[in-house]
Amino acid sequence: MSILVIAEHDNSSLKGATLNTVTAATGLNGNITLLIAGSNISSVIDEAKKVSGISNIISCDDELYKNFLAEDLSSLVVSISNSYSYILAPATTFGKNLLPRISAKLDVQQISDIISIESEDTFKRPIYAGSCIATVKSNDSIKLITVRSTAFDAAPMDNSNVSVESLDAVNALNISEFVSEEIAKSDRPELTAANIVISGGRGMQSGENFHLLDSIADKLGAAVGASRAAVDAGFVPNDYQVGQTGKIVAPDLYIAVGISGAIQHLAGMKDSKVIVAINKDEDAPIFQVADYGLVSDLFDALPELEAKL
Amino acid sequence: MKILVPLKRVVDYNVKVRPLPDNSNVDLNNAKMSVNPFCEIALEEAVRIKEAGNAEEVIAVTVGKTESQEQLRTALALGADRAILIETDSILEPLAISKVLTKVVEQEAPDLIILGKQAIDGDNNQTGQMLASMLNYPQATNASEVRFDGDKVNVTREIDGGLQTLQLNKPAIITTDLRLNEPRYASLPNIMKAKKKELTIINVSDLGVDINPRTELLSVELPPSRDAGIIVETVDELVEKLKNEAKVIT
Ligand SMILES: Cc1cc2nc3c(=O)[nH]c(=O)nc-3n(C[C@H](O)[C@H](O)[C@H](O)COP(=O)(O)OP(=O)(O)OC[C@H]3O[C@@H](n4cnc5c(N)ncnc54)[C@H](O)[C@@H]3O)c2cc1C
Ligand SMILES: Nc1ncnc2c1ncn2[C@@H]1O[C@H](COP(=O)(O)O)[C@@H](O)[C@H]1O
């Protein structure tokens, strides 16, 4: 059986979630091919050759794939799909945008966001904002799957035996066009890859007050996240949102500050190893999932915490 | 311009969903049902486009049980001009729903189709992209802003690293993210008016689409529960615990 993993990258390096997806693929018993499509991707290919568990790389280096438009990328994947029994992508905005487009062309019911592989055709996945876990069996002959990265370790980078084959681009569809992108630049680790995450909610009261979290994050080497309420209020940009419909994180330590703990927020962080909650309301539901709760005004607790770290 | 908004009846987002005692599925007995929040946002966007003079008609469509008429009436009260129920007692998967929706698109020929990015029951996040693929239409998922530019539509999308803007030819498919707009509430007069608006019911079997399931739900369980934690009294105690007990900071 052959497995195709669609790599997510930014034309210069691999995205971390690709490595978790490869690890999921190693649970399926088969040769793993990594597809890298983009523009000027030689550095991505060099990096990818080290990914443990893969046996070969198919690359497609073409201007057409520079911005990873789902319309064109899906045609490319469909053009090689009949060699594979599985096609996997990370359950990131990249994979979620792309994979259903391929599934529909192949007449396959995709399995989204798996957290475990039970057998060659059976998978577990969260439903209802993670309130329940469903075990689902796929009866399609090809299986298309997106992988929740927090549920699988990152593949190590110790491979030295990977062949690379290049592929021609397929005809452009010309129905959509890339206009622009604003990618947030930060010196901090990426939310989904950080070992420690400190998130603020509506209780932070303003964007400026997020500096209180920033200085703690700097000391801990942590990433900064937020609840939906904090993002909606404009305190921080949308890519900070943790939750059912934001990012899924599972760091060693998650510190929730001024966050009540709505189920949609918990869906994005309750698999963290250790959870700390700082909230002035002792009845806030966040305390039900916290390993350590501190009932305190955050404007007192945060400066003290910063000083004592 | 004509806008089609596919929407789904789902359990209300405030309901805490649990498995049935035999773990065969989730227990939705007597649960409050609503329009999926992302679909409300989709409908609101369509209605605003119409109110801005950029569209003539907004059609809401749902594939589901006869009870889904309630959610279509809500959509009519919120500003949809007419509604279509594709009636079925089976629970359809996104692939089948997309196939059914292609039939509605063939009938109605909308210029724009706005869906939610995900239904909060199955959390699949598939239908919009599948429908776009079946129709060979362009797609912009996770929209946070929609603007018209001549006969094209520019959509800003929320992506993992920030924001991305795409330009789509029409007909196009858009799926909505949370911050696209804040949906209005239905007013009493509009709820009354909605009762007189047209609601067409079509049986799914009349569409000649293969809706056979491709997956089987083997079981539904609660996620592993977390052990009860403790309340610390001071910041000092918190730091001490994190260092020496949890060993997550140094
Ligand atoms: C379809 C849908 C999807 C959603 N997706 C997400 C998602 O992905 N992520 C997400 O986070 N939410 C999501 N939500 C929203 C979610 O339901 C909650 O509304 C949201 O998480 C609340 O954010 P919050 O905890 O910051 O705000 P609130 O619930 O208002 O809580 C603020 C907390 O701060 C505390 N506080 C206030 N002042 C202080 C102080 N000075 N010191 C200490 N504590 C203080 C209060 O006691 C309170 O507990 C979604 C909702 C819907 C309907
Ligand atoms: N049964 C349905 N009827 C109409 N539209 C639907 C249905 N199911 C899903 N959709 C649409 O597809 C979106 C994404 O759903 P999903 O792919 O199930 O996460 C929803 O927000 C709706 O706009």
DSSP per-residue codes, A90-136: ESSHHHHHHHHHHHHHHT---EEEE-EEEETTEEEEEETTTTEEEEE
Indicate the SS3 state at residue A10. coil
Nearest to A100 among B122, B129, B163 (CB): B129
What is the per-residue pLDDT for B233? 97
Chain A residues within 8 A of B11 when measuring between CB atoms = 128
Angle among Cα B242, B243, B248 to the nearest 5 degrees reads 65
Q: Mark yes or no for CB contact A309/B218 under 8 Å.
A: no
Residues of chain B with pLDDT under 50: none
Q: Which two three-digit tokens encode residue B124?
A: 């699949």
Question: Is ligand 2 within 6 A of the CB of residue B73?
Answer: no
Instruction: Report pLDDT digits (tens) over A110-154.
Output: 999 999 999 999 999 999 999 999 999 999 999 999 999 999 999
Q: How far apart are CA B250 and CA B246, in angstroms?
A: 10
User: Closest residue of B to A142, CA-based?
Assistant: B214
Asked if residue A17 lies in contact with residue A113, where contact means CB atoms within 8 angstroms, the answer is: no
What is the per-residue pLDDT for A165? 97
**N-term to C-term CA, chain B:** 61
Domains annotated on chain B, with CATH: 2-215 (3.40.50.620)
Q: Mark yes or no for CB contact A253/B249 under 8 Å.
A: yes
Question: Is ligand 2 within 6 A of the CB of residue B116?
Answer: yes
In the numeric block, the tokens 């909610």 are attached to A201
Taking CA atoms, A249 is separated from A71, A183, A225, A229, B191, in Å, by: 29, 20, 10, 18, 41
Query: Which residue from B107, B28, B26 is spatially nearest to B61, judged by alpha carbons?
Result: B107
Query: Which residue from B136, B132, B141 is spatially nearest to B94, judged by alpha carbons?
Result: B132
Bridge partners of A118, per DSSP, are none
What is the per-residue pLDDT for B217? 98
- Strand A31-38: give its sheet, edge to edge: A111-114, A143-147, A86-90, A2-6, A31-38, A56-61, A163-166
Residues of chain A with pLDDT under 50: none
ipTM: 0.95
User: Closest residue of A to B132, CA-based?
Assistant: A101
User: Most B CBs within 10 Å: which of A10, A115, A131, as the mutation test of the B interface?
Assistant: A131
Chain B residues within 8 A of A239 when measuring between CB atoms = 158-162
Angle among Cα B165, B141, B122 to the nearest 5 degrees reads 160
What is the per-residue pLDDT for A39? 98
Bridge partners of A137, per DSSP, are A122, B216
Q: How far apart are CA A307 and CA A305, in angstroms?
A: 5
Ligand nearest to the CA of A256: 1
Question: Is ligand 1 within 6 A of the CB of residue B120?
Answer: yes
Output the pTM of the full model.
Answer: 0.96
| Distance in Å, alpha carbon of A37 to nearest chain B alpha carbon | 19
Burial state string for A210-237 with b = 16 or more CB within 10 A and e = fewer than 16? bebbbbbbeebebbbbbbbbbbebebbb
Chain A residues within 8 A of B219 when measuring between CB atoms = 134-135
Q: Mark yes or no for CB contact B214/A140 under 8 Å.
A: yes
User: Most B CBs within 10 Å: which of A97, A114, A216, as the mutation test of the B interface?
Assistant: A97
Give the residue whose CA is nearest to atom 11 of ligand 1: A227
Chain A residues within 8 A of B158 when measuring between CB atoms = 93, 238-239
Q: How far apart are CA B198 and CA B75, in angstroms?
A: 12
Bridge partners of A146, per DSSP, are A89
Chain A residues within 8 A of B236 when measuring between CB atoms = 308
Q: Mark yes or no for CB contact B26/A69 under 8 Å.
A: no
Nearest to A293 among B162, B227, B232 (CB): B232
| DSSP state at residue B73 | H
Q: Which residues contact A282 (CB under 8 A, 6 or more apart)?
A: A295, B231
